[in-house]
Amino acid sequence: MVFPFQSIEDFKVEITEEHELFRKMVREFVEEKVIPRWQEVERENKFPDEILEGMKEMGLFGVGVPEEYGGQGGGQVLTAILMEELARGIPSLAVNLGVNHLYMIPILLFGNEEQKKKYVTPVAMGEKRGAHANTEPGAGSDVAGIQTKAKKVNDHYVISGRKIFISGAEEADYLIVSARTSPPGEKRWQGISVFIVEKDWPGVEIGQKFNVIGMRGEQPNEVILDEVKVPAENLVGQEGMGFKVIVTTYDHTRIGIAAQAVGIGQAAFEKALNYALQRYTFGQPLISYQAIQFKLADMYMKLEASRLLTLWAASLADQGRSEFIIASSLAKAFSTEAAEWIARQAVQIHGGYGADWEMGVERYLRDAVITTIYEGTNEIQRLTIIRSLLRQAFGLRV
C-alpha cells in the first residue's frame, strides 16, 4: 500500500557518482575553510570575505541554476547535498546561499527571458546578491495577508510598505518584493504581485537587524519601502498572481530548509558520538551506559530518516512530479523537528559542557529552532500535507 502515491517506484531516490564527488568537494571546503572559523562568525555575526569568495570561486552560488543564466546546472538533489554540507559546518552559511535561491527561483519559474538574464545571471555567478522580501508584521506564513501596496502609475509602480525578518537584506543588491496591486477579490490571495527591486533605488532602506535566537552570521533585517519607483518591466509574472509565485517558490525552497536541518542533525550527532566515546564518568566511558546508547541510536534513526525524506522530495522535484509538494512539506517538518531534538540530546549528552558556548554544541540547538519557523512554519507544513493528501487522493480542496 503506497497511498496516496501510485507505485512503490515513486519512492526511488536517484543518487549518482557525480553527486558523491560533489559532496566530497564541498565537505573538504567546509572542513578546511569554514569550520575553523565558526567562533569568529558567531562573535562578529557576519561571514569572512574569504569564505564567500571561496564559495564564489567554486561556483556554489550557481548550483541548481541553468548554465544559460550563469549557473552550474544540477537540480534539487545537488542543491540539497550542498545545503546539508554547508549547514554541517555553519548552519547560517546555508542560509547565506539559500536566500539567493529564494530570490532567483521565482524569476526562473515565472520571469521573462530578459529578467532572467539581467537579474539571475550575476547572482548565480556570485557577483551580486539577492534576497526575498515577503514577510510583514502581520503576514508571514499567511502570504495572503500582505499589506505592502504597489500602485501603477504610467510605466511604473510605486511601492510602499514594511518587510521584516528578511535574511540577506544587508548584503543584497536585488530584492524580490511582494505587494498588493489591488484589494483582495473573492479570494484573499487575489491582488498580490511580485516585483524585482534594486536595493540602491530611492526609497529602499534597510532597517534594524533582528537579534534572533540563532543563525549568527546571517540574521534578518527590516526592509522599508517608501514610495519606491519600480519599472513595469520588473513585474514578475502576471499582475495580481503573485500569491502563486510566492507559494510555488516555497514549495521548492523548503527542500533546502530540510537539507539544512539534516546538516545540523549530522553535526550534532557527530559531536555527541565523539564525546560519548571520549568522556569517562564513574570510571566508565559515557558510551558504555545504556541510557546514552539509546539516545544515540534514536538520534541516528531520526537523522537517517530525515536525510532519506529530504533526498526523496528533491528527487521528485527533479523529476517534475507534482507530488514533490507534499514530500517537501513532509521533509521540512520532520527534518527540522528531528534536528531540534537531536541537537537537544547532543547538549544533554555533553552535560554542562553542552551549554558552554566554547564547546560549539548549543549553537546547533539555537539554529535548529529557526529552521522549524522560516519558509512556512511547521504548523503550515502540516496544513499543506493534509490538503495535498486530500487533493491528490480524492480531488478534494479544503
Instruction: Give the residue numbers annotated as catalytic, written as ranges.
Output: 375
Q: Is 102 exposed, middle or buried (0-12, 13-18, 19+ CB in 10 A)?
A: buried
Helix residue spans in 279-320 (DSSP H): 290-318
Task: Report the alpha-carbon angle 33-38-44, nearest 5.
Answer: 115
295-309 burial code (b ≥16 CB/10 A, e <16): bbeebeebbeebbeb
Task: Report the alpha-carbon angle 133-136-141, nearest 5.
Answer: 90
Question: CA–CA separation, 144 vs 194, rounded Å?
Answer: 13
Cell of 358: 566554547
Give the residue carrying C-alpha cell 508584521.
Answer: 137
Dihedral angle of Cα 13, 14, 20, 25, to the nearest 10 degrees: -90
